[in-house]
Amino acid sequence: MKIIGFNYLQKQHFLTLTIILLLASTFFSITALGFLGIYKSFNAYLGEEENIIAIYDKKSRTPFTGLVPTYLAQRISSIDGVLSSSPEVVIPCIVKGKSIFLRGVVPNELYQLNPLIILDGETLQLNDTNSALVGKRLAKDLNLVPSDKIIVLGALSEQYIELEIKGIYESNTALDDEVIAPLYVGQWLRRTDYGHVTLIRVKIDRSKVNPSQIYETLVQEAETPAPSPSNETKPSPIQQMIPVSRATFNPENLGVKETQEFMKTFLDRYGMTRETLLILSAAVFIFATATIFASSHTLIRQHKPEITVLRSLGASAKTLKLDLVIKTIPLSVVASLVGMLIATVALLILQEVGQPQVLSHRVQFQPDLLLLALNTILVTLIVVLAIIHSTKRLDKD
C-alpha cells in the first residue's frame, strides 16, 4: 500500500513539533556558538596567524604578568627567517573608569606584525613621549578623538600617566580594543625596568625557521658569557631611546609557542578547555534531545487513530515508519537551519549592543559551518530515532 503523499498528519500537531525543534535548535546553537566565540576570541588575542609566535614566561599565571628579557628581541631579530621581533608590555589599566589593556611597543616592529590603518590623526613613533594610539572600538566606547588627553592608571601597580591621543587606528584584530603606547610607557605602568617586557611576539618565515630553532637560540644565548664593554656593538636606534642591557635568564623558564597555543595554555590551566566547553554544550543538547524525543513521541500518540486506520487498510508498520520519517526529515532540516540563523543573528546583535568581552576585548561571534552541519544532522537523527521508537511502542499497545 502506497501512502507517501497522503496527508494524514494534522497541521496543528505538526506545527507544535516544528516550534519545539526550532526552539531546541536555537537554544543549543546559542550555547555552542557563544562558547566557541569566547574560546576563539581568547585564543586569537595575540594573533591568529600561524607564523606569529610568542616568547613568554612559563611561570606566569596570566598572559600579562610574566617578564622576559627585553634584549632577546634584538638577538632573535638576527636569526635568518625572523621577519619581525616585537617586545611588548601588555598591562591591564583603567581609563575613564573602564577596564582596558595598554600595550607598550616599539611601533615600527609592531606595524610589521599587525599593520594598522590610521583612521584619524597620525601614526605613533617610539620617541612620541606621552602619546598613544587608540583602537577603533575602544575610541568609540570611550568617545575619544585625536588630541584628547586621558589619565591611564596601571592595575598592577600604583603608577599612572597622562597620555595624549595621537591617532585612532583599525587593525581588524583584538588590538582594536587597546591603547598602544611606546614601550617605555608600558614599562612605567607595569613598574618594571627597561630590561624586561611581558612577552616578545615574533613573525617568522616557516620555510627558514621554526619555534624549536628559536628556543635553541635562546638556550645558546643563556650559555654565552656577556661581552665586555669594549666588545659591545654600537647601540641601535631603539637602544639609544631605551637603555636596554643584557639580563641573565633561565631558558627553562621561557616558552616559545604559536600565539594561539600560548593563549590555550592558560585556558587549559584553568579548566576552560575545548573539551570542557563541548561537555557544557552537550549538557544543553541532552536537554534538547529529551524535549525533541518527547515531542516526537507525542506527535505519534496524537495520530494513533489515523495510524490504526491505515494499518487496518493494509499499510505495514515498515511503510508507516518510512512515510513518517520522510515527512519529518524536511521539517527537522528547516527547523535546524532557521534555529541556527536565529542564534547567529541574536549573538551578532548582542555583539553590537551588549558588547560581551573577554580580557577587556570584544568577543567576536562568527557563523560556524561545522556546527551548522552537526546541529542539523543530530536534530534530524533524534527525530528519526524518536519516530521509530514511538511507532514500535504503538504496535505493542
Task: Name the least confident of 43-52, 148-157, 160-169.
Answer: 43-52
Confidence of residue 379 (pLDDT cuts 50, 70, 90): confident
Does residue 396 surpass a pLDDT of 70? no
- To the nearest whole number, what is the mean pLDDT of the chain? 80
Instruction: For the chain, give every domain's residue range.
Output: 11-43+273-396, 71-246
Q: Which of 137-141, 289-293, 331-335 bottoms out in mean pLDDT, i.e. has the lowest?
A: 289-293
Could you report the per-residue pLDDT of 196-255, keeping only the tens digit for each?
A: 999 999 999 989 999 999 999 999 988 887 665 545 555 555 665 677 778 888 889 998
| 87 pLDDT higher than 50 | yes
Q: What pLDDT was estimated at residue 1?
A: 40
pLDDT, tens digit (0-9, with 9 covering 90-100), for 107-154: 999 999 889 999 999 999 988 989 999 999 899 989 999 999 999 999
pLDDT confidence band for 361 (50 / 70 / 90): low
Averaged pLDDT for residues 45-52:
69
Q: Using pLDDT thresholds of 50, 70 and 90, give the confidence band for residue 2.
A: very low
Local confidence band at 368 (pLDDT 50, 70, 90 cut-offs): confident
pTM of the model: 0.72
The predicted structure's pLDDT at residue 111: 92
The angle, 0 to 180 degrees and rounded to 10, between the axes of the packed helices 304-312 and 317-353 is 150
